[in-house]
Structure formats: C-alpha cells, structure tokens
Amino acid sequence: GAVVSQHPSWVICKSGTSVKIECRSLDFQATTMFWYRQFPKQSLMLMATSNEGSKATYEQGVEKDKFLINHASLTLSTLTVTSAHPEDSSFYICSGLPGGSYGYTFGSGTRLTVV
C-alpha cells in the first residue's frame, strides 16, 4: 500500500529555535498534503493544506509565519516550526491522498517537545 514517510519521529528543541519536519510520499505523487496537530487525548486538528508548487492554505487561527510549509516537489512536503515555544509541543502528522484511493495515508507522526 501507499506509504508516507515522516521524519523525525521525535525531536526536542530549545525554546526560540526552529524545527523542520519532513514528509515524503514514497510510492505515489502528492500534489496536496495535509498537516495536522494532535494534543494528548485530543483528535487531529488540520493546520494547513500543502500544495505542490504554490502557497499553502492555512486553517483559521494557524499562524502562517510560525508554521512554514514548503511543498517543492510531488513527493516532499516540509513543515518548519519557527521560534518554537513550549506551547508548540505536540504531535504533528502529515497525510496524503494516493491517486485512485479515497483513504488518506498518514505519516507516523513527529513528537515535538520544546523545552
């Protein structure tokens, strides 16, 4: 089946630094990828939709200057959390929709801890 590879699986960073998370679609091309955030015992909240070759679309309340998204190729989307603060600590997950499928394929997630 389709695979989305997400790295790193976990990261600890100091407050004020930036962290980049990568998502690669390994066996399908993804013109669109979705970035979610999940706090403990809560559901997935869509942060933004990443579009290959164009600007990302952010959900209401998500700061686009803080969560930088780049989708430079059909197989790679990145999320950079800039000037991270402890409240940004969360589980970040990306997903893509393989062609011919209605089921979304998710990455394994990145646990970000800001200290």
Determine the interface stretch with another protein among 13-21, 60-68, 72-80, 96-104 (rule: CB under 8 A): 96-104
Q: Using an 8 Å Cβ cutoff, are 103 and 95 in contact? A: no
- Round to whole Å and give the CA distance between 38 and 77: 18
> Considering the complex, what minimum distance in angstroms separates the CB of residue 112 from another protein?
13
Sign of CA dihedral 17, 88, 11, 34: negative
Total chain residues near another protein (CB under 8 A): 25
Give the residue with the Cβ less far from another protein, 62 or 82: 62
Determine the interface stretch with another protein among 12-20, 69-77, 78-86, 93-101 (rule: CB under 8 A): 93-101
Contact between 42 and another protein by CB under 8 A: the answer reads yes
Within its chain, how far is the Cα of 31 from the centroid?
Answer: 14
Task: Choose which of 22, 32, 52, 76 interacts with another protein (CB under 8 A).
Answer: 32
Determine the interface stretch with another protein among 11-19, 67-75, 76-84, 100-108 (rule: CB under 8 A): 100-108
Task: Choose which of 11, 22, 80, 91 interacts with another protein (CB under 8 A).
Answer: 91
The owner of tokens 């989708």 is 71
Sequence-distant (≥ 6) Cβ neighbours of residue 79 within 8 angstroms: 20, 21, 23, 35, 47, 48, 50, 67, 68, 69, 92, 94
> Considering the complex, what minimum distance in angstroms separates the CB of residue 14 from another protein?
23
